[in-house]
Amino acid sequence: MTLLKGALVAFTPTFLPVPVPDVTVFQYNPESLTHTWSQPTVTPSASGASDAGGSAGRTGTTTGNPMAVAGFPGEQFDLTVILDANEDIADGGPSGALASVSGVYTRLAAMEMLLYPASAASSSLLGQATAAIAGALGGGPPPTQVIPDSTVPITLFVWGPFRIVPVRLTGLTVTETLYDTLLNPVHAEVKLQLKVLSPAELAAAGADSDVLSTVATVAYEYTLSVREAAALANLANAAQSIIGMLPH
């Protein structure tokens, strides 16, 4: 059986109708990851304990229901990815040739760029390259596209076939331990902090009508549907557990 590998899939803004993915496949799957959940709370009332109608705590999004929440729960993934150039060099091929001259720096750079605004990336060599591809495929000069300032790229965190979620990279810590003769890192450990973006957050980003947001929203809803199906499948285990709790 082929071992699936985790990956980060970033979408660089281009002039193509379909976004061009920049895929960073994990060289080695992390042995563990931390999946943190947080429950959003209802916004408290700013007008006091009661409104004009006399209903306590029912202004704005405030409610008297103690089980009320403001939306979907927050999610975050924390994991450490290990990169090593020696194995790529030993395997040969294009990856080996690239690793022999730059170590693991290209993979580090791909993850580092996830922290930069898309507008900055679009005016860089990466943006110029994707624009050139768009012009070549379209047979003419690409149309003008406005990219919002200070907006980081939309990224998908892929962890197997059942967990594909849109995320924002919120933390990146790189520990480099070995170098080649040009001081390129050949071994590194990368700690990633990934905040999962809900459909409401994607819409609030102002990009709910474009292709990138559509792809991200579909990924979130797909993963949620898989989770719901898994929870339903657990009902059989729950019934068995209840039977085991009953006195014999």
User: pLDDT value at position 50?
Assistant: 41
Pairing of strands 155-158, 74-84: unpaired
Q: Which ranges constitute the DSSP H helices of the chain?
A: 85-91, 93-102, 105-112, 118-122, 125-138, 199-204, 211-233, 235-245
The secondary structure of residue 61, as a DSSP letter, is: T
User: pLDDT value at position 86?
Assistant: 92
Q: Which amino acid is at 202?
A: L
Pick the closest to residue 16 from 123, 185, 131 (CA basis): 131
The answer on pLDDT for 173 being more than 90 is yes
Pick the closest to residue 20 from 150, 215, 208 (CA basis): 215
- Phi first, then psi: give them for residue 224, nearest 5 degrees: -65, -40
Give the pLDDT band (50/70/90) at residue 227: very high
Residues 127, 13: contact at Cβ < 8 Å? yes
Give residue-wise pLDDT tens across range 123-161: 455 555 555 544 555 545 544 444 445 678 889 999 999
Give residue-wise pLDDT tens across range 145-155: 444 456 788 89
User: pLDDT value at position 41?
Assistant: 73
Give residue-wise pLDDT tens across range 41-81: 776 554 444 444 444 333 345 667 788 888 899 999 999 99
Domain boundaries, the chain: 7-40+58-243
Question: Which pTM does this prediction carry?
Answer: 0.76
Q: How far apart (Å, rounded) are the C-alpha atoms in residues 248 and 234?
A: 24
